[in-house]
Amino acid sequence: MKRNVSVLVKPASSRCNLACAYCFYLEKAALYPWEGRPALSLDTFEAFLRQYMEGFAQPYTFAWQGGEPTLMGLPFFQAAVQLEARVAREVNPGSLSHISNAIQTNGVQLDDDWARFFKESNFLVGVSVDGPPEMHDRYRTDRTGRPSHRAAMDGVEHLRRRGVEFNILTVVSSANVEHPEELLGWLVGQRFRQLQFIPLVEPLPGHTSVVEAGALPGSITPQQYGRFLERLFDAWVAAGSDSVRIRWFDNLVQLLWGHPAETCEMARRCGMYVVLEHNGDCYPCDFFVQGEWLLGNVLETPLEKIVNSAIFHRFRRMKSRLHPECRDCPWLSLCHGECPRYRITGSGRAEGALPYFCPSFRHFFESRYNALERVAVSLGRRLGLPV
């Protein structure tokens, strides 16, 4: 039986029109130098598409990321979507293929043409916004230090005017971690209803571990993040948990309902993903685009062989190799050891290591579990679920 695999496409590699101080993918320029202006060709994408659509089950899922994927230009994306449809028709003649596209962008280049394309092509758009200008512009600037907040918000307005489905991705850094109520209030005040928060802890350039080298400026501590989650949860409940969706809380509610989490970080194993770099190189996760985890190049090695490789299976097993404290933890069924990227130790390895944010989650679950359970029951009843 054919398996499902989701694809994370890096069409411009790490190239970006911003220079966010905390970006984890900028250092991939060491693997794929910008001097060559890395860009995914349609020929390479077609070679990947044919193997993907012939060898794997629907839905065919593409998440376009960077760097900044819109640097490829609108004509590239128009051609790529047409190529997806054509190859799907050729591979599955006479049947309707289920293809989904999403894109994560800083929003700076979005205009009416982009918004119209996203609407017509049914893209889900994620826009990076770290809060009001004083929070967002602390770390999200261009290469000359100019702020990006106004341009990002202008991009959001173009999406709104065209009725494009979008969500907001917010990095929790030292710029906003102490102000969760203000942050959520501002996001809700902007009529943002689909929110995702990602904590910032990135090692210094050239290192794999904050244990080994310390963290980038702006990174937060487990204690800070634990308090942030508590206060954010309280503000979320006060704002109306059924009207504002916060991805991490939503996934906890799903787990309490007995459903699987939607995000791989809260699942038992890492997801079935393939990262497609601009030149055809494939990796198992965009947080692990590094030499050790190169699965092969789709122009040289069949995709089926790449996904069946020993490296890919070793990567997917890594998450389930838990620290002894995790195995005995009463909250394991909600956390599942978190994403391996937060477990990297001074040795550069993630197997059996304690997650960096373990104290954050313990603190949150110990203080808010009963309230979270009440939210799950309330939401479940409104949806007619047997809770």
| b/e burial code for range 169-182 (CB count within 10 A of at least 16 → b) | bbbbbbbbbebbee
How much is the mean pLDDT over the chain?
92
pLDDT of 256-265, one tens digit each?
A: 999 999 999 9
The model's pLDDT over 135-153, given as tens digits with 9 standing for 90+, comes to: 999 999 999 999 999 999 9
User: Would you say residue 330 has pLDDT above 50?
Assistant: yes
Mean pLDDT of 365-381: 94
How much of the chain exceeds pLDDT 70, in percent?
94
Could you tell me if 51 and 307 are in contact, meaning their C-beta atoms sit under 8 angstroms apart?
Answer: no
Distances (CA, A) of 369 to 6, 90, 100, 306: 32, 51, 35, 41
Pairing of strands 281-283, 296-297: antiparallel
CA distance 83 to 349: 39
**Residue 124 is assigned to a structural domain of this protein:** yes
Q: How far apart are CA 273 and CA 22, in angstroms?
A: 24
Would you please indicate which residues are annotated as catalytic (active-site) residues?
286
CA-to-CA dists, residue 316 to 120, 136, 265, 310, 350, angstroms: 36, 34, 12, 10, 12
**Is 329 a member of any domain?**
no
**Furthest-apart CA atoms within the chain: distance in Å:** 57
DSSP class per residue in 85-132? HHHHHHHSTTS---EEEEEEE-STT--HHHHHHHHHTTEEEEEE--SS
Q: How confident is the model at residue 24 (pLDDT cuts 50, 70, 90)?
A: confident
- In the prediction, which pLDDT does 70 show? 99
Tell me the C-alpha distance between 287 and 103, whole Å. 17
**Does a structural domain hold residue 347?**
no
* Whole-number Å distance between alpha carbons of 212 and 215: 9
Query: By mean pLDDT, which of 48-52, 174-178, 376-380 is the weakest?
Result: 376-380
For the chain, the 3-state helix, strand and coil shares in percent, each to the nearest 5, are 45, 15, 40
Sign, CA dihedral 341-346-352-356, equals negative
Q: What is the pLDDT of residues 268-313, one digit of tens each?
A: 889 899 999 999 999 999 999 989 999 999 999 999 999 999 999 9
pLDDT at 211: 46
Confidence of residue 78 (pLDDT cuts 50, 70, 90): very high
Q: Tell me, what DSSP letter sits at residue 199?
A: E
For residue 352, tell me if it sits in a domain: no
Q: Report if residue 46 sits inside a domain.
A: yes
- Stretch 116-127: mean pLDDT: 99
Within a domain: residue 312? yes
For residue 174, give its domain range: 6-321+362-378
Please check whether residue 351 lies inside any domain of the structure: no
339 part of a folded domain? no
Q: Residue 31: pLDDT above 70?
A: yes
Token pair for 358: 């373990």
Give the count of domains, the chain: 1
Render pLDDT for 187-232 as a digit per residue (tens, 0 to 9).
Answer: 999 999 999 999 998 765 555 545 444 567 799 999 999 999 999 9
User: How confident is residue 36, by pLDDT bands cut at 50, 70 and 90?
Assistant: confident
pLDDT at 8: 99
| CATH code of residue 191 | 3.20.20.70
Task: Give per-residue pLDDT as tens, 159-185.
Answer: 999 999 999 999 999 999 999 999 999
